[in-house]
Amino acid sequence: MDILAAFSNIAGGFGTALSPLNLMFGLLGVTIGTAIGVLPGIGPALTISLLLPLTYGLDPTPALIMFGGLYYGAMYGGSTTSILVKMPGEAASVVTALDGFEMARQGRAGPALATAAVGSFVAGTFATFMLMLLAPVLVAITLGFGPAEYFALMVLALTTVAGLSMESPARTMFSVMLGLAIGTIGIDLQTGQARYTFGLPSLLGGIDVVTAAIGFFAIGEVLWAVASPEPPAETTALRGAVRMTRDDWKRSWPAWIRGSLIGFGVGVLPGAGATIATFLSYATERRASRTPDKFGSGMIEGVAGPEAANNASAGGSLVPLLALGVPGSGTTAVMLAAFQLYGLQPGPLLFAQRPDLVWGLIASLYIANVLLLALNLPLIGLWIRLLKVPRPILFSAVLVLSSVGVYAASNNAFDLIVVWFFGVLSFFMRRGGFPIAPTVLGLVLGPLLEQEFRKALAISIGDPTVFFTRPISAVILAAACVSLMWSWFRRGRGSGSALTHR
């Protein structure tokens, strides 16, 4: 591992990230990110989808820096409402509410918010550092990859989504396959044949990923909000200063470190996501504690660990996205769509062709962490006020912004029908216990998967054993099989999870 090269590259990256324009977009990203983290129901995937059509005219570097900051910011902001209102802004902050809200009830909201913010900073910085070191190593390894290996990698990403899903693996697998199916709509680029277009000329160009993502995430969320009664919020006031005692620091440090390691490790795995990282971290803290029975009654470790884990997983999930071009979560799938929108394909070539962008983005994540720490703790009162925005106004605004964004991208009212259709589909999928993010992931990866599949077979002159005779491809596909079998045996009998509703 050439650490010196990484440091030299990151120095160049800081040059890019610290330009006034990029710094401004970074600040905008972390501010929006924190706000959406605070607001329940509005997640980073939804917001990036909404912002994408508005950033068409921008240079890719500031736009992607903004999305990176937004992703990190959402992870920071999610803890605030978990601790003070017991209404997690993100699924990844559900665990934080267990002990965080109890701490707030005992008048210790300040230390809970402080350990969440400092832990997020520590974990975010650690994850960005690891991203900086690990991504070039992965890039060097994958330079020798051909279509068969890329095909295998994407299969692994999709099977891991089901294997590590917090919901039913069977229903998650259906969601993934549905995304792949939607991705086949339109003209086949190799032969010019129309597929699943039902005679509609507007479908010949295929389903635009951004349109589908807005339908699934934004419109689906609006319909969910309309149909569900407003959840009663249990609120505690913020009393005292947002600072930790010496004992709080002593208890938080090990939890931050464990949370950072777990979060980054889980984040790098495609499909695992921040939620599973927080649950794992919480379980680890309980096991490591001398008083595990006290968890749930206001233990600071129960806030420090999971909050570090969810931020580290955000950094971790950028490793496969940037180095391999393979997203592992809903948010990174939408970020891949953002790259593609600008005519860029993350992966080894991007590191060679646009080092300014890649290293600028990584450097901006360090800056985002510092900005978030500065924005979060002193301005906590301001963020809490956001919760006073009436739900009807918030969601009707999301509806309008979604529609305008989709229309502006194509100047075609047909896309509004498409977005409406996916919104309704998204609602009923959630009602049926089918997670949404894997469908968007499948939709983003589907066309790439098919392309690599066909390229590999073209190179092997139609020999399908190419996927098993090339050693790396065979190993990755074997891992995909193990992942599927693991989920079959582990939860073959299935269990539901309320997380599908988040």
| CB distance 272 to 61 below 8 Å | no
Options 4, 199, 230, 465; binder of another protein; rule CB under 8 A:
230
Output the CA–CA distances (angstroms, integers) from residue 176 to 182, 267, 445, 497, in the order listed: 10, 19, 10, 18
Minimal distance in Å, beta carbon 497 to another protein?
8
Interactions with another protein, residue window 335-394 (CB under 8 A): 390-393
| Token pair listed for 170 | 């069977």
397 near another protein (CB under 8 A): yes
- Specify the residue, 191 or 465, whose C-beta has the smaller distance to another protein: 191
28 near another protein (CB under 8 A): no
- Specify the residue, 367 or 437, whose C-beta has the smaller distance to another protein: 437
Minimal distance in Å, beta carbon 184 to another protein?
5
Interactions with another protein, residue window 289-318 (CB under 8 A): none
- Specify the residue, 177 or 242, whose C-beta has the smaller distance to another protein: 177
Residue type, 9: N
Options 34, 275, 376, 403; binder of another protein; rule CB under 8 A:
403
Options 57, 144, 232, 381; binder of another protein; rule CB under 8 A:
57
Options 3, 5, 288, 400; binder of another protein; rule CB under 8 A:
400
Own/partner contacts of 464-472, CB < 8 Å, gap of 24 or more, are 466/148, 467/148, 467/151, 467/152, 470/146, 470/148, 470/149, 472/145, 472/149, 472/152
Minimal distance in Å, beta carbon 424 to another protein?
6
Minimal distance in Å, beta carbon 214 to another protein?
12
Options 4, 199, 227, 237; binder of another protein; rule CB under 8 A:
227
- Cα(227)–Cα(299) distance, integer angstroms: 36
| CB distance 217 to 45 below 8 Å | yes
- Specify the residue, 173 or 324, whose C-beta has the smaller distance to another protein: 173
Interactions with another protein, residue window 471-500 (CB under 8 A): 488, 491-496, 500
Residue 202: count of CB within 10 angstroms of its CB: 13
- Specify the residue, 378 or 392, whose C-beta has the smaller distance to another protein: 392
Interactions with another protein, residue window 436-465 (CB under 8 A): 446, 449-450, 453-454, 457-458, 461-462
| CB distance 392 to 97 below 8 Å | no
205 near another protein (CB under 8 A): no
- Specify the residue, 171 or 286, whose C-beta has the smaller distance to another protein: 171
Residue 489: count of CB within 10 angstroms of its CB: 9
410 near another protein (CB under 8 A): no
Of 120-128, 285-293, 341-349, 395-403, the segment contacting another protein by CB under 8 A is: 395-403
Owner of token pair 């993100």: 90
| Token pair listed for 381 | 């009162």
Interactions with another protein, residue window 74-133 (CB under 8 A): none
Interactions with another protein, residue window 174-203 (CB under 8 A): 174, 176-178, 180-181, 184, 188, 190-193, 195-196
Number of residues that bind another protein (CB under 8 A): 76
221 near another protein (CB under 8 A): no
| CB distance 68 to 361 below 8 Å | yes
DSSP class per residue in 57-88: TS-HHHHHHHHHHHHHHHHHHHHHHHHHTS--
Options 120, 168, 369, 426; binder of another protein; rule CB under 8 A:
168
Of 81-89, 121-129, 354-362, 417-425, the segment contacting another protein by CB under 8 A is: 417-425
- Specify the residue, 141 or 457, whose C-beta has the smaller distance to another protein: 457
DSSP class per residue in 432-461: TT--SHHHHHHHHHHHHHHHHHHHHHHHTT
| Token pair listed for 37 | 């983290």
- Cα(246)–Cα(387) distance, integer angstroms: 31
Minimal distance in Å, beta carbon 428 to another protein?
9
- Name the residue among 385, 304, 279 with its Cα closest to residue 103: 304
Q: Quick one: DSSP state of residue 329?
A: S
396 near another protein (CB under 8 A): yes
- Cα(272)–Cα(414) distance, integer angstroms: 35
